[in-house]
């Protein structure tokens, strides 16, 4: 989930920037220093804004830079185990699909995609259910659950996050809609035929 919070942090202003406008300098340095960073509370700072200096800066002996306390707003992303996420398929490999959600990618292993045997068409970036015929391809929107989290502190984007879609209410969004219609007694195939019939253009001479 995303959350906007306020924070007070220190920014190092190098000597070459000391003659510049302080507001512009701390704004760019705050973004450069803290965006994309994994915090102690396991959140990832996505964006930083509204950075303003708090009090005078301080100089450290032997370092020509100024260390300035800065008050800022930050957009953070918190990842929680068992959380349900929605994302987009960004890659398909022989062992599964990578799903992008928020600032992270998670792995949907082939064993966690559907209750069906699957074939992986890596060349066409597609996973196909042998019995159901359901497909999962790059660009598809899905709903999944987080089952494991191993965050990489140095490079959060390289964190190892495991996902599953083998539970009710999860899967490719179109599958979820189909399952909901079946559960209510509606026939998704009949709905599709009705829509095509309704959209069929009139032939010449029909009124």
Domain spans in the chain, listed from the N-terminal domain onward: 2-78, 84-185
- Percent pLDDT > 70 in the chain is 89
Residue position matching structure tokens 């924070």: 7
- In angstroms, the CA 74 to CA 62 distance is 31
DSSP 144-165: EEEEEEE--SS-GGG-EEEEE-
Cα-based angle 61, 67, 70 (whole degrees, multiple of 5): 165
Q: Give me the mean pLDDT over the 165-179 stretch.
A: 94
> What is the pLDDT at residue 60?
82
- 4 to 47, 110, 179: CA distances (angstroms): 9, 35, 36
- In angstroms, the CA 53 to CA 25 distance is 10
Top pLDDT among 188 and 73 is at 73
Q: Which helix (H) or strand (E) covers residue 138, if one does?
A: none
Top pLDDT among 63 and 170 is at 170
- In angstroms, the CA 12 to CA 193 distance is 64
> What is the pLDDT at residue 117?
93
119 pLDDT above the threshold of 60: yes
> What is the pLDDT at residue 70?
95
> What is the pLDDT at residue 186?
63
Q: Give me the mean pLDDT over the 132-149 stretch.
A: 96
pLDDT, tens only, 11-23: 999 988 888 888 8
Cβ-proximal residues to 58 (8 Å cutoff; 6+ apart), any chain: 66, 67
Residue position matching structure tokens 């042998």: 130
205 pLDDT above the threshold of 60: no
Nearest to 90 by CA among 142, 44, 168: 142
- In angstroms, the CA 147 to CA 127 distance is 21
83 pLDDT above the threshold of 90: yes
**Phi, then psi, of 195 in degrees rounded to 5:** -65, -40
Q: Across the chain, what does the average pLDDT equal?
A: 88
> What is the pLDDT at residue 42?
81
pLDDT, tens only, 178-192: 988 988 876 555 555
> What is the pLDDT at residue 29?
93
Please determine whether the domains at 2-78 and 84-185 fall in the same fold group of CATH.
no
Q: Which helix (H) or strand (E) covers residue 32, if one does?
A: helix 22-34
Are the C-beta atoms of 188 and 178 separated by less than 8 Å? yes
Q: Give me the mean pLDDT over the 154-169 stretch.
A: 90
99 pLDDT above the threshold of 60: yes
- Domain 2-78 matching CATH 3.90.1260.10: the answer reads no
Q: pLDDT confidence of 197, banded at 50, 70, 90?
A: low
Quickly name the fold that domain 84-185 has.
OB fold (Dihydrolipoamide Acetyltransferase, E2P) (2.40.50)
- In angstroms, the CA 32 to CA 180 distance is 46
């Amino acid at each position: 989930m995303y959350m906007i919070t306020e924070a007070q942090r220190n920014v190092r202003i190098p000597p070459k920037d000391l003659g510049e406008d302080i507001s512009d300098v701390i704004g760019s340095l705050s973004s450069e220093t803290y965006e994309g960073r994994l915090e102690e509370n396991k959140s990832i700072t996505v964006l930083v804004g509204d950075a303003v200096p708090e009090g005078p800066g301080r100089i450290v002996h032997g370092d020509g830079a100024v260390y300035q306390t800065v008050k800022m707003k930050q957009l953070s992303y918190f990842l929680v185990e068992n959380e349900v996420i929605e994302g987009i398929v960004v890659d398909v490999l022989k062992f599964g699909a990578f799903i992008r959600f928020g600032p992270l990618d998670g792995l949907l292993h082939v064993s966690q995609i559907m209750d069906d045997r699957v074939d992986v068409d890596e060349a066409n970036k597609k996973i196909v259910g042998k019995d159901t015929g359901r497909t999962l391809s790059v660009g598809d929107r899905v709903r999944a659950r987080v089952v494991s989290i191993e965050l990489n502190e140095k490079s959060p984007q390289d964190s190892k996050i495991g996902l599953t879609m083998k539970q009710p209410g999860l899967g490719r969004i179109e599958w979820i809609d189909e399952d909901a219609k079946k559960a209510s007694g509606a026939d998704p195939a009949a709905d599709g035929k009705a829509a095509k019939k309704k959209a069929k253009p009139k032939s010449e001479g029909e009124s």
